[in-house]
Structure 1
Amino acid sequence: MPISRHFEIIYLLLHKKTLTAAELAEHFEVSARTIFRDIDTLSAAGIPIYSSRGKGGGISLMDRYVLNTSLLSEHEQNDILMALQSLSAVKLPETNDVLEKLSTLFKKDMNNWIEVDFSPWGSQDSQRQIFPLLRQAIIAHHLIKFHYYNTAGEQSKRSVEPVRLLFKSKSWYLEGYCRNSESSRVFKISRMKEIVVTEVVCDPRPVVPFTDAEDNIMRNSIEVTLRISAQGAYRIFDEFAEQTITHNEDGTYSITVYFPEGNWLDSYLLSFGVLLEDVSPVHLRKRMMDQLDAIRSKLSRD
């Protein structure tokens, strides 16, 4: 049972004194039976809440009941509000309401100290809706369908039972059970297109340990060594872990990392332009040269 609903029930009763189970059920879009279970839970937790039948009856708090915010220190209250602001920044839909109500009870002004936007610069509003969409699918255990582009540039249609979101190395991934491959998979969210949340409800799937998910992402990866000029230091420190970087005597940098092989890797390496001084294994270097020749041929057309 969501703690936020428990809290909001108390908040509503503090301000409206008495509400019926039907009114609360309509407000939270749940059944009256669920509301009565909530009341039992709150009562068991020591909240003086009760229900009365008949005309004028309903669910109420005992007279003169006040939520004892003094149970939380000033520091704890600030920590709670800051944590909720962090959740609000990632656009969790009900967080703003809870944050506003807690701020009122704690008698504190909200300080919007954080803002998070997962979408790329200049992206459309539709891209900003992906995370709330996936979040709801995960919570409700709804099957999702989408088009996916792998590192080889191949497109496929997927039906996936979503499990959780993962963040790794500046990228977001969706972990889920793929019905196409009949196994757990990890999908890079930026490559998921035309996402549709279906009405199909799935049984909850176990969470795959993060190390297993990482192995899934790095399947078919190869060891790559790069030498990048001193002028590329800004990208080196932005994009690579410190333990993978060697600063050479001539001022260049050598980096040894593992990358999944495919068209994405070729494009990524080419993005370094003249900053890239060497790359191995040899077949990568040859493939890059072939692509540069193809680019030169296309751009030199009249």
Structure 2
Amino acid sequence: MQISRLLQMTYILLEKGTVTAPELAERFEVSVRTVYRDVEALSQAGIPVYTSQGKGGGISLTDRFVLNKSLLTDKEQDEILFALQSFSAARLPDSGEVFSKLSSLFRKNSTSWIEVDFSPWGSGLKQKELYPLLKQAILERKVISFTYLDGAGEQKSRRAAPLKLLFKDRAWYVEAYSFEKAALRTFKITRMSNVRLIEGDGAHFLEPQQEWMESSGTYREEIKVNEMPRIPLVLKIDPAGAYRIVDEFREEDILKQEDGSFRITTDMPSGEWLIQYLLSYGDLLEVMEPGAVRLEMKTRTAKMAKKYLR
């Protein structure tokens, strides 16, 4: 992010001549102190930037400075453009504009080598639009309202101040301060619907309050799972389940059998989470050990079969 900001700052100084630190701070939504740190970084990188005091003063480049592409090797130019394209793929503000300008300066053809889509396969337009909206709420410190489907299957209205996005175990979450709970909460994004930015009074919040960060009872679904006691497991998975095995188990835990099936020796958190996870494999999985988990799977599948034998 800082690289993109430094490049943009250089272009602004080239175009406008002299710009004050508060103007740059407002432009990039950072503190004045951060602007002066960026100025120092530019200077250390060999960019002739200087500051002047008094009326008409500010941050400037020397009159004869030109961003010379000959200072960079062909490989270095590619690396800069590829890095900027990574920023652009992640929807970082203004990185696309800088990428376009540098592509023109270096006389490089634009190669679309990366694309980042945070939404899951099969998601609709509304789900795809959710991530830019959450990013906007986090960067602009805006409050959102939404409907949330909790673990009990109940839909509840929520109002929260998003602080950051979190990716954990193949799922996206948003960590936010919940005004209903007066504490930090972690919401699974696929359970959120009707997400809107709040307008008018109460639309913004300032810096996260210290009591938010220290609020007791912070709930994270993944932490709750990881704190459960772990039990050893031996699983047999059919060849058709190979696409999941390589993503979900360590290589050293996987043993391919002569019949093409896989023997998995691992340990996992106990409890209802484990049973639901094992059931997600359907008839591709058989629990070999321990006996207690095997018996529970037998009981659950028998109950499931009963519903279809009526």
The answer to whether TM tops 0.5 is yes
Aligned residue in 1 for 2:66 = 66
| Greater mean alpha carbon deviation, residues 150-159 or residues 42-51 | 42-51
Aligned residue in 1 for 2:98 = 98
When residues 177 and 226 of structure 1 are mapped into structure 2, their CA distance, relative to the original with a 3 A threshold, is farther
Q: 1:109 aligns to what SS in structure 2?
A: coil
Matched, 1:218 2:229: no
CA contact 2:146–2:194 (8 Å) conserved in 1:
yes
| Greater mean alpha carbon deviation, residues 196-205 or residues 132-141 | 196-205
Quote how far apart the aligned CAs of 1:201 are: 0.7
| Greater mean alpha carbon deviation, residues 238-247 or residues 119-128 | 238-247
Quote how far apart the aligned CAs of 1:84 are: 1.8
- CA deviation digits over 1:234-260, x for unaligned, max 9? 332233333443445665334445368
Query: Partner amino acid for 1:253?
Result: F
Cα distance in 2 for residues equivalent to 1:288 and 1:273: 9
Query: Partner amino acid for 1:230?
Result: P
In the comparison of the two structures, how many residue pairs are matched? 284
Aligned residue in 1 for 2:205 = 201
Query: Partner amino acid for 2:142?
Result: H
Matched, 1:235 2:281: no
Cα distance in 2 for residues equivalent to 1:219 and 1:40: 41
CA contact 2:166–2:175 (8 Å) conserved in 1:
yes
Aligned residue in 1 for 2:286 = 277
- CA deviation digits over 1:78-123, x for unaligned, max 9? 2222122122223334221121123233333222111222223343
When residues 195 and 88 of structure 1 are mapped into structure 2, their CA distance, relative to the original with a 3 A threshold, is same
Quote how far apart the aligned CAs of 1:66 are: 0.5
- CA deviation digits over 1:204-240, x for unaligned, max 9? 3669xxxx98524535576565432233223322333
When residues 73 and 163 of structure 1 are mapped into structure 2, their CA distance, relative to the original with a 3 A threshold, is farther
When residues 6 and 274 of structure 1 are mapped into structure 2, their CA distance, relative to the original with a 3 A threshold, is closer
Instruction: Summarize the alignment of residues 1-302 of structure 1 with structure 2, pairs less than 5 Å apart.
Output: 4-5=4-5, 7-14=7-14, 16=15, 28=27, 42=39, 45=43, 46-47=48-49, 61-198=61-198, 199-204=203-208, 214-216=222-224, 218=226, 223=231, 226-247=235-256, 251-255=260-264, 256-258=266-268, 266=276, 268-278=277-287, 280=293, 282-294=295-307, 296=308
Cα distance in 2 for residues equivalent to 1:265 and 1:9: 54
Cα distance in 2 for residues equivalent to 1:263 and 1:194: 28
Q: Quote the RMSD (CA, aligned, Å).
A: 4.4
| Greater mean alpha carbon deviation, residues 269-278 or residues 125-134 | 269-278
Quote how far apart the aligned CAs of 1:125 are: 1.9
Q: Which runs of 5+ in 2 are unaligned?
A: 215-219
What is the TM-score with the length of structure 2 in the denominator?
0.68
Q: Which runs of 5+ in 1 are unaligned?
A: none
Cα distance in 1 for residues equivalent to 2:221 and 2:243: 29
When residues 171 and 20 of structure 1 are mapped into structure 2, their CA distance, relative to the original with a 3 A threshold, is closer
CA contact 1:50–1:61 (8 Å) conserved in 2:
no
Cα distance in 2 for residues equivalent to 1:254 and 1:59: 65
- CA deviation digits over 1:34-90, x for unaligned, max 9? 7xx959964994425779979xx9997543321244554443332222122122223
Higher relative contact order at CA 8 Å, sep ≥6: structure 1 or structure 2?
1
When residues 30 and 87 of structure 1 are mapped into structure 2, their CA distance, relative to the original with a 3 A threshold, is closer
Q: 1:129 aligns to what SS in structure 2?
A: helix
Cα distance in 1 for residues equivalent to 2:259 and 2:58: 79
CA contact 2:164–2:175 (8 Å) conserved in 1:
yes
Aligned residue in 1 for 2:217 = none
